[in-house]
Amino acid sequence: MATASTLCIIGSSNTDMVVRAEHLPAPGETVMGGTFLMNPGGKGANQAVAAARLGGQVQFVTKVGNDLFGRQAIEQFQREKIDTTYVLVDPDLPSGVALINVDARGENCIAVAPGANASLQAADVAPALAELPASALVLLQLEIPLDTVAAAIRQSHAQNLRVVLNPAPAQVLPPDLLQGLYLITPNETEAELLTGLPVRDEASARRAAEWLRQQGVDNVIITLGARGVYLLTNDVSRMISAPAVQAVDTTAAGDCFNGALVVALSEQLPLDEAAAFACRAAAISVTRLGAQASMPQRQEVDQVPFLAHPNS
């Protein structure tokens, strides 16, 4: 039975094939000497695993192929104690895959073949949302069809659910999709694409966040990598710092942040404390290789000291 603390995460599931090398290849270049890893990934799945490891009660809605990768994904979700009732299997399309290059500084570039993720439809999502009580949290990203995302948001509004949209990968969104969102969580690149405003520092992040609130978003968090995040609500405008760490692989840092964020919100933490908790979780994740493999456990995050912005 779904409760107000249930986190409904709707999104993609992929298998990540990762090559780590000294630098990212330029067009036409072959970089030798790399190491290869194969890990479960996909933004939706990463966020679901992050939330589950941090104590969230997670219901995951996704679609995989009828293949080895799909079966392995479902087994992994079940090991993480994720509700897989709405993990669906497409009889025709393969499971999604992502090809990831990671350099020595932890920066990455990614190419995704969505496979079954592209066939996740509104009718697949609707029954899961219908089970949720008012005020439950719904987390979405953009690695599934935009029509499905829009339909999920409309249904969530009709049921008085709180929608958190992580607008990644970056793309232009129709204005009506932003209206009534409880929270949006773009990074600098995504915020600039959404608003047309450059995001370089706290002042420019505030301008972009104000623009998003003018479009009808209730609350805005713009993630700024190692600098932390900028938070704008009706009552709060502030930077929240991230712990200083040596990054090894930033592949799923944003996914870790979003999964941690909704866990904290489901525990009734205010947005600034939830964002600080999520910064701590993401900081741990970048010190490890892989996507889901990098997601921390709750006790690890609880041991990292809270870091407030010096001017807060």
Q: Residues at the annotated binding site for substrate?
A: 14-16, 42-46, 143, 255
Among residues 201, 255, 272, 302, the one annotated as catalytic is: 255
Residues in the chain, overall count: 312
**What is the sign, positive or negative, of the torsion defined by CA atoms of 138, 142, 145, 149?**
positive
Residue 67 is a catalytic residue:
no
**Residues of the binding site for ATP:** 187, 223-228, 254-255
**CA pair distance 48, 293, nearest whole angstrom:** 13
**Residues of the binding site:** 14-16, 42-46, 143, 187, 223-228, 249, 251, 254-255, 285, 288, 290, 294
Alpha carbon 124 to chain centroid, angstroms = 20
User: Which residue, 228, 239, 236, is CA-closest to 202?
Assistant: 239
Alpha carbon 226 to chain centroid, angstroms = 17
Cβ contacts of 124 within 8 Å, gap of 6 or more: 61, 63, 86, 88, 148
Output the furthest CA–CA distance in the chain (Å, rounded). 55
Which amino acids are annotated catalytic? 255
